[in-house]
Structure 1
Amino acid sequence: MVVGGLVEQRKQLTSFDISVLCLELRNELKGYYIENIYHPEHSSILLRFNKPASPEKHLIVEAGRRIHLTRYAVKKPPKPSLFCSSLRKYLINGIVEDIEQPNFERIIVFHVTKGKNKFKLIFELFSRGNIILVDE
């Protein structure tokens, strides 16, 4: 939006933005395994993905605000939070089977399989947002 000749930065992603991001993330990350997870700030997580014979990828998610791949170094805390430790327990070495946007909502769901277990890592990209892990 342009206000008084200045471009105003949007604070949240639209459903259309998320639809495009979801397609891009599916193309980039499907088949990758989750190598590590970090909790650099209260409302954000960083996921590191890997796949044999493919480049390592990093995804930053800030609940309610943004989700994108990054090449920039993100400062990692010296000790993982309890939330981060829980995510690591269930998701490290899990394979990204699919990424979807249910019902054109401002939500992205990562379907992750680890052994015989299947999980959904849900990112809410509206309001204050949440990052939720559930089993299927």
Structure 2
Amino acid sequence: MVKQRMGSVDVAGEVACLRERVVGLRLANLYDLNSKTYVLKLAKSGSEGEKVFLLLESGSRLHTVQVIRDKPDAPSNFCLKLRKHLRTRRLEGVRQLGVDRVVDFTFGAGDTAYHLILEMYAQM
């Protein structure tokens, strides 16, 4: 049977893997696939090297993907707002808040840091 949602232990494991793979990369762009699913395109600054696509789905999952699925022609207003504030910022940290299924992505450092919080609780 295929798992529909990530548990707290799954989130902890994925966060540990993401820390090694994406911390230090810059946000090149952000895409919305629908109102709950976003893809962060992360890349090393100043090079055409590795690009990592990180899929974030509110309420159920987060993981890296190889390619971006079909995306809408025009981004949503929320996606545009995220792009405005986060694009070109360095991802400084990924952490799970306690043992909850909540992940904090920290872009930038100090007083100018932005936090993108992903909650993986299903809306009933």
Same fold (TM over 0.5): yes
Normalising by structure 1, what TM-score? 0.83
Q: Of 2, 8, 23, which aligns to 1:15?
A: 8
Per-residue deviation at 1:56? 0.5
Stretches of structure 1 that go unaligned for 5 or more consecutive residues are: 1-7, 130-136
Number of residue equivalences: 122
User: Could you say what secondary structure the match of 1:110 adopts?
Assistant: strand
Deviations 1:65-97 (A, max 9, x none): 111100023212111100000000100001111
Q: Is 1:30 equivalent to 2:23 in the alignment?
A: yes
Task: Give the equivalent residue in structure 2 for 1:45.
Answer: 38
Normalising by structure 2, what TM-score? 0.91
RMSD: 1.8
- Does structure 2 retain, via aligned residues, the 8 Å contact 1:93–1:114? no
Q: Alpha carbons of 1:33 and 1:20: their partners in 2 closer, same or farther (altered >3 Å)? A: same
Q: Alpha carbons of 1:11 and 1:56: their partners in 2 closer, same or farther (altered >3 Å)? A: same
Q: Give the distance between the partners of 2:34 and 2:122, measured in 1 at CA.
A: 17
Q: Give the distance between the partners of 2:110 and 2:98, measured in 1 at CA.
A: 28
Q: Of 104, 107, 111, which aligns to 1:109?
A: 104
Stretches of structure 2 that go unaligned for 5 or more consecutive residues are: none
Give the ranges of 4+ consecutive aligned residues of structure 1 lying more than 4 Å apart after TM superposition: none
Higher Cα radius of gyration = 1
Structure with the larger strand share: 1
Task: Give the equivalent residue in structure 1 for 2:82.
Answer: 87
Q: Of 60, 65, 70, which aligns to 1:65?
A: 60
